[in-house]
């Protein structure tokens, strides 16, 4: 069972969000475990203070290192001393499907969620192994980023989605965006489902899906084509459609 430990000031936010749908079922089935640790519980302050003014002046508050470090120490017997600690920060490396696949191979993971102006640099130096960002924007805290990453990593775990092939053709799994999807009815608002999908010819369906995936990536995320695993057949198809790789 893969265990996720989240160091946070808002444990209810993490546990409640992840208790529904596929990830809720995965926890009930014992495939994954999510434990949110309240950093405030480890404050040495009478009023459970976990932040203070930054040295050198400036706006905002900074999370103190002691409560974070003690919260981290408390879970080591369960998580293991070699477990990677992921700090959610706009300064981190971008989170991608490739990163999710890499993290899916880890036995356990620890997430550190910052707030205010961030956390004291010394705790980052002491315990953090990876600084990761969801993108070039700022959130009010790291919880939403951690929840997003746990979702992305968990669905790659055996048994979580039910069918192991469920994620193989999804966007980014092969470096491309996913092809268009359709379901009943065959005609909606005068828009018809492509005939090839109704043909029952699996070879033609797979060919159409691959081509649509290539075209959609070229249209919406052409930057992905530079690193995608393209065959000579893919490259020829793109060139025939006026797309240079």
197-235 residue pLDDT tens:
999 999 999 999 999 999 999 999 999 999 999 999 999
For residues 38 and 11, the answer to whether their CB atoms sit within 8 Å is yes
Q: What is the pairing mode between strands 51-52 and 62-63?
A: antiparallel
Q: How confident is the model at residue 167 (pLDDT cuts 50, 70, 90)?
A: low
Q: What is the pLDDT of residue 168?
A: 59
Number of H helices, E strands in the chain: 8, 9
3-state SS of 46-93 is CCCCCEECCCCCCCCCEECHHHHHHHHHHHHHHHCCCCEEEEEEEEEE
What kind and span of H or E run contains 34?
strand 32-38
Q: Which of 11, 2, 240, 1 is nearest to 147 (CA)?
A: 11
Distance of alpha carbon 141 from alpha carbon 214, whole angstroms: 36
By three-state DSSP, how is residue 196 classified?
Answer: helix
Q: What is the pLDDT of residue 162?
A: 80
Q: Which of 26, 4, 30, 35 is nearest to 160 (CA)?
A: 26
Handedness of CA 113, 116, 121, 123 (dihedral sign): negative
Query: What pTM, to 2 d.p., does this model score?
Result: 0.90
Tens of pLDDT, residue by residue over 76-121, are: 999 999 999 999 999 999 999 999 999 999 999 999 999 989 999 9
Q: What is the pLDDT of residue 163?
A: 64
Written as six digits, the tokens of 119 are 């956390």
For residue 91, give Cα distances in angstroms to 5, 95, 139, 164.
22, 11, 12, 34
The rounded mean pLDDT for the chain is: 94
The pairs formed by 190-194 with CB atoms below 8 angstroms and a separation of 24 or more are: none
Q: Is the pLDDT of residue 135 over 80?
A: yes
For residues 150 and 31, the answer to whether their CB atoms sit within 8 Å is no
């Amino acid at each position: 069972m893969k265990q996720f430990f989240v160091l946070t000031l808002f444990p209810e936010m993490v546990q409640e969000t992840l208790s529904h749908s596929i990830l809720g079922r995965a926890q009930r089935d014992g495939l994954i475990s999510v434990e949110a640790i309240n950093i405030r519980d480890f404050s040495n302050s009478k009023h459970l203070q976990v932040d203070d003014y930054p040295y050198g002046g400036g706006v905002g508050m900074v999370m103190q290192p002691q409560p974070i470090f003690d919260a981290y120490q408390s879970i080591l017997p369960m998580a293991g001393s070699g477990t990677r600690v992921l700090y959610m920060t706009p300064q981190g490396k971008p989170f991608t499907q490739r990163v999710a696949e890499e993290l899916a191979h880890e036995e356990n993971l620890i997430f550190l969620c910052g707030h205010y102006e961030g956390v004291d640099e010394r705790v980052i130096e002491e315990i953090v192994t990876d600084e990761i960002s969801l993108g070039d924007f700022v959130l009010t805290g790291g919880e939403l980023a951690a929840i997003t990453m746990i979702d992305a990593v968990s669905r790659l775990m055996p048994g979580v989605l039910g069918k192991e092939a469920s994620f193989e053709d999804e966007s980014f799994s092969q470096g491309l965006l996913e092809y268009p999807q359709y379901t009943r009815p065959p005609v909606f608002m005068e828009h018809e489902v492509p005939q090839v999908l109704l043909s029952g010819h699996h070879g033609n369906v797979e060919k159409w899906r691959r081509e649509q995936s290539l075209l959609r990536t070229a249209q919406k995320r052409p930057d992905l084509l530079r690193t995608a695993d393209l065959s000579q057949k893919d490259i020829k198809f793109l060139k025939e459609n006026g797309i240079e790789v």
